[in-house]
Amino acid sequence: IDDYFPAIQQDEDNVTTLFSLLDHDTPLWGMLIEKAFAKRYGNYEHITYGQAGEAIRALTGAPYIQYEHKDMSLDTLWYLISQQDPVDDFLIAGTETLDEDDVPKDIPGVAANHSYTILGTHVLSNNNKRLIKIRNPWGKPGFHGTMKGAAWNEETREETGYKDGKDGIFFIDLETYKKAFTETSISFNTANWASAKFLKTNDETQSVNPGKWQGVCGPKCTRHELTLKSDIKQTIYLTAQTWGVKSIPDSCEKKDNGLYHAIVVSKSDDVNVFSFGDK
């Protein structure tokens, strides 16, 4: 890639970049990665919106799990977030996907079609209120969290390490978090994983899966089976290439916007059977 970026003339004196915003103190590495990512997937339009976990996996190879808040209890949601290490793993909070001119109605100030970083959790000692520490990557004011004003006395500030700055960081209680954000994505750190054990399969050499949708242009859905035996208890992750509606021709789009899904089936006798293919 080169170091030219798409920009637009705002007025006689100001020019702004169209995608990643360039400020007077903004380093260029983010814009360069974005341009390489856009080139990999065809153009900038192809990487508009999407899932944060997919973007992180494309850049790092990290598998991820995405949880929808709609049918999840508060206790389950808290457990899923609080048990993760935000230093090693990527925790992302996603907001509702709406038309460009719409905003989420429940929580003013929370941007639609946007991803926020989860930095950690904390339980207040005086009232056991469960808080989630979040950062808006825009790094500017918007939603300031439900812990603000009188709620931040000297004791709670010291306990949580909260500073009222303009870095986009805020605290939000668990109940409001569940309403303001529609999904939580956890991307796992693979630094210490035994990657030499990975098995890679090629769709071109596999038989076509007899599923209901075979595809009409591009790779057909295939089925793979793998049996593993292990003498120790371990967690095994399975990932597969996916495609969305923007990365295939219009004539190939599925009405339900289906993706290439991975299915994991674990047996209780220490034999794990994996198969994946068309949903």
- The per-residue pLDDT of the chain, averaged, comes to 72
The one catalytic residue among 69, 122, 136, 209:
136
Same domain, 262 and 163: no
Q: Are 228 and 179 in the same domain?
A: no
Domain end among 187, 216, 248: 187
Last residue of a domain, one of 187, 221, 246: 187
Does residue 17 sit in the same domain as residue 101? no
Say if 131 falls within a structural domain: yes
Q: Which of 187, 215, 233 is the last residue of a domain?
A: 187
Regarding whether 163 and 220 lie in a shared domain, the answer is no
- Measured in whole angstroms, the distance separating CA 170 from the mean position of its chain's CA atoms is 19
- Is residue 143 a part of any domain in this protein? yes
- pTM over 0.75? The answer is no
Classify residue 55: in a domain, yes or no: no
Which of the four pLDDT bands, split at 50, 70 and 90, describes residue 260? very low
Residue 74 lies in a domain: yes
d(CA 269, CA 229): 9
Least confident range from 17-21, 131-135, 169-173, 234-238: namely: 234-238
Among 69, 114, 122, 209, the one annotated catalytic: 114
* Residues of the chain above pLDDT 90, percent: 16
Q: Out of 82-96, 206-220, 249-263, which region has the weakest mean confidence (pLDDT)?
A: 249-263
- In this structure, are 69 and 177 located in the same domain? yes
* Domain co-membership, 165 together with 123: yes
- Tell me the per-residue pLDDT of 47-67, one tens digit each, with 9 for 90 and over: 887 788 888 888 887 888 899
One domain, residues 98 and 123: yes
The model's pLDDT over 112-148, given as tens digits with 9 standing for 90+, comes to 788 899 999 999 888 888 999 988 887 765 565 566 5
* Residue-level pLDDT at 149: 56
Per-residue model confidence (pLDDT) at position 161: 79
Query: Is residue 39 a part of any domain in this protein?
Result: yes
Other CB atoms within 10 A of residue 119 CB: 14
pLDDT of residue 238: 59
Q: Please report whether residue 238 resides in a domain.
A: yes
Handedness of CA 78, 177, 243, 279 (dihedral sign): positive
Average pLDDT over residues 240-254: 42
Position with higher pLDDT, 25 vs 175: 175
The arithmetic mean of pLDDT across residues 85-109, rounded, is 72
Judgement on whether residues 264 and 232 belong to the same structural domain of the protein: yes
Residue 170 lies in a domain: yes
Query: Which residue segment(s) compose the domain that 38 sits in?
Result: 10-48
Residue 222, pLDDT score = 54
**SS3 at position 273:** strand
Q: Is the domain of 30 the same as that of 118?
A: no
The count of structural domains within the chain is: 3
Same domain, residue pair 102 and 122? yes
- 97, 166 Cβ separation under 8 angstroms: no
For residues 70 and 183, membership in a common domain is answered with yes
Task: Say whether 46 is catalytic.
Answer: no
Is 76 a residue whose pLDDT tops 90? yes
Contact 214, 230 (CB under 8 A): no
Residue 56 lies in a domain: no
Is residue 218 domain-shared with residue 261, that is, in the same domain?
Answer: yes
Longest dimension (CA), the chain: 71
| Per-residue model confidence as pLDDT tens digits over 159-201 | 887 776 667 888 888 999 998 899 999 998 877 665 544 555 5
H or E segment and range at residue 158: helix 154-160
189 catalytically annotated: no
Tokens standing for residue 26: 């903004």
